[in-house]
Amino acid sequence: MPHPVVHFEIGCRDVAKTEHFFSQLFDWKIQSSGPAATIDTGSRDGIQGHITALGHEPQHYTIFYVEVDDVQAYLDKAAALGGKTLVPPIKIPTGIFAWFSDPEGNTIGLLKRA
């Protein structure tokens, strides 16, 4: 299975302010959806994403998600290579996601689509 980058996320404290900034900067179409706002970049060539305010640390972050067929198996593989699980697998309406850090401390998301 290939493992494409399939989604990105922008963390913030103020979703409305962040939505306004990116919609004005890049002409992205942003739709509020509960605690997050979906981003349509307007391109078939790139990936889509969302903006969210978690309500806790980390407040400011950007992250990309890699599609995998088994989130836990890839968390285990990352750990064996020196990585660390930051957010264990969580079910969401669109599938299952998790976060891990690489040996340098970068945060990467994993996503298995529903």
pTM over 0.85: no
pLDDT digits (tens, 9 = 90+) for 7-27: 999 999 888 899 998 999 888
pLDDT digits (tens, 9 = 90+) for 63-114: 999 999 999 999 999 999 989 999 999 999 889 999 999 988 889 999 999 9
3-state secondary structure the chain: CCCCEEEEEEECCCHHHHHHHHHHHHCCEEEEECCEEEEECCCCCCCCEEEECCCCCCCCEEEEEEECCCHHHHHHHHHHCCCEEEEEEEEECCEEEEEEECCCCCEEEEEEEC
pLDDT at 90: 97
Q: Which domains does the chain have, with CATH numbers?
A: 5-113 (3.10.180.10)
